[in-house]
Amino acid sequence: MKIWKNTNTLDCYINELKKTVPPSEATVAIIGSKPIDLNIMPNLKAIFKCGVGTDNIPFEEAEKRGIKIILPSAKTKNFIYEETANFTTFLILNELYKKIGDLTSWTKEKRVFLFDKKVLVVGQGNIGKLVKEKLQKLVTVKSFDVLENKDEELEILVREADVVTLHIPLTDSTHNFIDEEKISWMKKNSSLVNTSRGPIVSEDALFDAINNKKITATFDVFWEEPYRGKLTQFYPERFMMTPHVSSNCVNFLDNLAQDFTDQLLKQNL
| β-pair type (163-166, 215-219) | unpaired
Q: 268 falls in which pLDDT band (50, 70, 90)?
A: low
Residue 7 phi, psi dihedral angles, 5° rounding: -145, 150
| Best CA proximity match to 195, nearest among 148, 151, 240, 135 | 240
What does the pLDDT read at residue 29?
A: 97
Mean per-residue pLDDT, 208-224: 98
| Best CA proximity match to 260, nearest among 16, 8, 7 | 16
The model carries a pTM of 0.94
What does the pLDDT read at residue 59?
A: 96
What does the pLDDT read at residue 18?
A: 86
pLDDT at 176 over 90: yes
Cα-based angle 96, 99, 101 (whole degrees, multiple of 5): 140
Mean per-residue pLDDT, 230-253: 97
What does the pLDDT read at residue 269?
A: 64
List of residues 6+ apart from 72 with CB closer than 8 A? 49, 50, 51, 52, 80, 255, 256, 259
Amino acid at site 19: K
